[in-house]
Amino acid sequence: MEIVGMLLVMIAVGAFIGGLTNSLAIKMLFRPYEKKYIGKWRVPFTPGVIPKRRDQLAIQLGQLVVEHLVTAESVQAKLQEEKVKNDVEHVCRKMYQQFTTQQLTMKDVLHKLDVSITEEQVEERIGKVIEQKYRNLMDANGSKQLQDVISEDFAQKLDQNIDTITTYIYNKIIAVVEEPTTKRKIEELVETYIQSKGFLGNMLLSMVSSEDIANKVHYYVKEYIQTEEGYNKIETLVQSEWTQLKQKKVEDLYRIILDDTVILTLKKQILAQLNISELMNKPIETWLKPLERKVYEQWIPQLVEQVLSKLMTYVPTMLDKLEVAKMVEKQVASFPTSRIETIILSISKKEFKLITYLGALLGGVIGLIQGLFIVFIG
């Protein structure tokens, strides 16, 4: 019984010493946090291993993160995952939906962006762009014939509508001829012409009044214009002028097409069609609604694809600019030692306990071997 008791005591002592030693070694990784002194003499093994090497640990962790964890390749691989792409598309669609349901106008959007611009300023800027584009177009095509500049469809439409144009001009001529002012003007011209003939003219006026002559001239002019021959004459003139105009070089028409009045009229017509005031006060949702399906199914996926693809090319540069290693190093170096201890223990607490138990087991085995050795030797 004495031998068994001795063996049990030695096993217990060995286990206690082995477990205590390992537990103390684990504690000495973190404790004490600072150097300890007895007088001027620094106590050995103070501070603990980790507090003493905290700066080196921060550097190593920074390098570990950059070289093995957050690498350019790992980030690029993450950006290529279908799930990431789908998540980004979902967020974009949600943002687009929220934006369109706010009933914002263009004026509201500009106000939110802190952009101060009035409708008059928008019209002025668009007008300048129209004028500049028009002048550039004319200058770039100065040596070309007009028929080479205008679109083939437009030219064909004009050719097909010569009759319509002729009718319009024909009706305008008749309307002008029928105006009372035209009749009075003919009378003035007749009277001036006859009086310029001296004695014969005065004699003619004594027999027939200038008004009668003017009425006759006016009547015959009107009658001629209204005949088929008169219409055909006007049509022939219109066709001839249009053919000659097409063959003219653009630079030969500069005085006409680059006239300030022409440009001003062009700008007014385009701005009237655009109706800037209506556009700026119109809810954005109303003119985005017809495009909603295309936005969801085409534009957003294409935009996300291009953004992620572009982002991938900039990942190495971004990581270099962010200096992730220094960021981690600085963050770890700023941690209090107690927090580092808590982080490591939260990860490896179970393993540290097993190491303590292993030390106790080894200590117990060594105590048993020592006891057996004493028994056999004794």
Supply angle C-alpha 36, 42, 46, rounded to 5: 50
Delimit the domains of the chain by residue range. Answer: 1-104+283-378, 162-239
Nearest by Cα to 300 from 125, 114, 155, 86: 86
Long-range contacts of 298-301 (CB under 8 A, 24+ apart): 300/89, 300/92, 300/93, 300/96, 301/89
Nearest by Cα to 215 from 241, 238, 245, 184: 184
Q: Which two tokens stand for residue 170?
A: 């024909």
d(CA 366, CA 64): 39
Other beta carbons within 10 angstroms of residue 245's beta carbon come to 15
d(CA 100, CA 283): 9
Per-residue pLDDT of the chain (378 residues; tens, 9 = 90+): 677 777 788 888 888 888 888 888 878 777 776 777 777 777 676 777 777 777 777 777 777 777 777 788 888 888 888 898 999 989 998 888 887 777 777 777 777 777 777 778 878 888 888 888 877 777 777 677 766 667 677 667 767 777 787 788 778 877 777 777 777 776 777 667 666 666 555 655 556 565 666 677 677 777 777 778 877 887 888 788 777 777 777 666 666 666 667 777 778 888 787 777 777 777 777 777 777 888 888 888 899 899 888 888 888 888 888 777 888 778 777 777 777 777 777 777 787 788 888 888 888 888 888 888 887 776
Q: CB-based contacts of 112: which residues, under 8 Å, 6+ apart?
A: 104
d(CA 351, CA 283): 64
d(CA 79, CA 85): 7
For every residue of 336-376, DSSP letters joined together read: -HHHHHHHHHHHHHHHHHHHHHHHHHHHHHHHHHHHHHHHH
